[in-house]
Chains A and B, each alone.
Chain A
Amino acid sequence: MEIWRLPVSASQRGKLISAGYTTLSSLSSISSSDLARELKVSESEALDILKVASHSHSGGSEMSSGNCSIFEGAQNAWDMLHEEESLVHITTSSADLDNILGGGIHCKEVTEIGGVPGIGKTQLGIQIAVNVQIPHDFGGLGGKAIYIDTEGSFMVERALQIAEACIEDMSEYNRFLRKDFQACEIRMQPKDILGNIFYFRICSYTEQIALINYLDKFISEHKDVKVVVVDSVTFHFRQDFDDMALRTRVLSGMALKLMKLAKKFSLAVVLLNQVTTKLSEGSFQLALALGDSWSHTCTNRIVLYWNGNERYAYIDKSPSLRSASAAYSVTPRGIRNSSSSCKRIKMM
């Protein structure tokens, strides 16, 4: 916007133009005392000019509304609270696990899940990719999933099993709820569920970074993607990296991009991580891989571990949930509660 359209007096406008201020943006970074000196006017007059300039710069809405809108794009906590309450979580199909997670995997957040080999990380990843497609009527999101596979451990047969079990559970739930056999036709087929999982196979860390840069565009084209699962985020970064400082930089840059995706498209990002041993207080302990800097980047952290013969999940880090642990089990039908008596899937 040009300066001559500014609603100030003609003499002030003349002074501004003769001093070289021709656009509004040239006024935006100057202080009132500097302007007063340059225009040879009083400081209060300069302040008035700047006020008018900022007023028209921001479309005139900001100052007149009278509240403390310091910058556009910021949300206040009150609005965010209501928004958060209306968000639907992605169930893990294990009621106990959902309980400690506060309803399931949260959208708009990056959740990291790690554990020793064979604990069921990939199973949980596939389960989430399937569960995100549970339609709205059943308390789900009705979205699609992106599955990024770096290790080659995604098994289509397994995904099919879990999808079939999920549909069976849904029809059972439907019967339970409505007691009406005509209306409870489930239109979803296992092959639809598999068709809604976008699968990427990644063979090097450069590919992984490139893909994550590309995801923004991909998701803009497929708006109903609601979860991105990376299995595992670690694999290529533990293979051939000499420069550890570079690794930290690349990883934190990647984490920020994932955060941005999660916020922008209101989707959940689930990263699976491996474990490593760490020397602390004189003894070796299991810890999630990729180091200390990485451990700060994720919003939530869930550690899976063995306790006797049972699998347990433990919330290691979360801004809103308390630390807690719950047992779960991996069954042919997917992730379920640990106690075999309670097999029914929790839907709401």
Chain B
Amino acid sequence: LIQILGDVEVCLQTASNAASNHMGTVVYLDTGNSFSPQRIAHFLGKTNELASSQVKNEILQRVMSNILCHSVYDIFEMFDLLHKLEYQLRYQDRGGCQMRLLIIDSISLLITPVLGGTSSQGRALMVSAGYLLKKLADQHNLAVLVTNHTVGGEGGTSKPALGESWKSIPHSRLLLSCDRGSNVCNVSILKHPSMASGEAARFVI
């Protein structure tokens, strides 16, 4: 279970890579109508530049039919879908096609409407969503990628949303940040079981 603070771009790129390099199915749960098949087609076109247009088209079709997208607009709908997914995965493990990656973009959008206030029900929903995702990741050998957003912290710095109790749920957390006025981005590790935190790398979109 990996949590990324930041961008749709990373999700789309990961989805296209997973589907093309590992031949697995990718399920993309979209909360912000931000899934852009055009962009994915663009990525795939980039990686197979040498092939002829005929072959290219075939690759494109095969890879893109491995990416399934579903829109979700509230947290209960998400639970419903995840339970269905778990149920389906149980029978699928021995089949030919394997699901490899589950992306939820972004989970914070679903959780913020229920979180906070006087009742603790929102928190309970959030934590149980976290554990359900962990269970899926563990039992069915999936990578789960969720995105979170940032909120303003003390002194104008930004910090990840969803607070302290969500902090402990994902296995690893990555923070993306962008320099103003350029398209160079930084990614730094906030939490990881096997790598030192605070390591950073730069990339270009």
Contact = CB atoms under 8 A, between A and B. Distances in A.
A256 to B, nearest CB: 5
B113 interface: yes
A260 interface: yes
Contacts of B104: none
B47 interface: no
A96 interface: no
B64 A76 contact: yes
Interface residues of A, number: 54
Nearest to A261: B73
A2 to B, nearest CB: 20
A293 interface: yes
> B interface, by DSSP: helix, strand, loop or mixed?
mixed
A296 B116 contact: no
Interface string A61-74: 00100011011011
Nearest to A300: B34
Interface string B85-118: 1011111100001010000001011101111110
Contacts of A296: 32, 106, 108-109, 149
Interface stretch (B48-56, B150-158, B166-174, B194-202): B150-158
B97 to A, nearest CB: 4
Interface stretch (A116-124, A146-154, A179-187, A241-249): A241-249
B73 A50 contact: no
Contact of B69 (A68, A76, A262, A299): A76
B31 A292 contact: no
A295 B88 CA distance: 35
B111 to A, nearest CB: 9
The 8 closest A-B pairs by CB, nearest first: A320-B36, A78-B64, A253-B113, A81-B37, A77-B67, A296-B149, A68-B97, A77-B64
30 contacts: A32-B90, A51-B91, A54-B87, A67-B97, A70-B85, A71-B68, A71-B84, A75-B70, A77-B40, A77-B67, A81-B40, A110-B32, A245-B117, A248-B112, A250-B113, A255-B109, A279-B156, A280-B156, A291-B151, A292-B150, A292-B152, A293-B151, A295-B149, A296-B32, A296-B106, A296-B108, A296-B149, A298-B32, A299-B32, A299-B34
Interface of A: 28-29, 31-32, 50-51, 54, 63, 67-68, 70-71, 73-81, 84, 108-110, 245-246, 248-250, 252-253, 255-257, 259-260, 262-263, 279-282, 291-293, 295-299, 319-320, 323
Interface of B: 8-9, 12, 25, 27, 31-41, 60-61, 64-71, 73-74, 81, 83-85, 87-92, 97, 99, 106, 108-110, 112-117, 149-152, 156, 158, 161, 180, 183
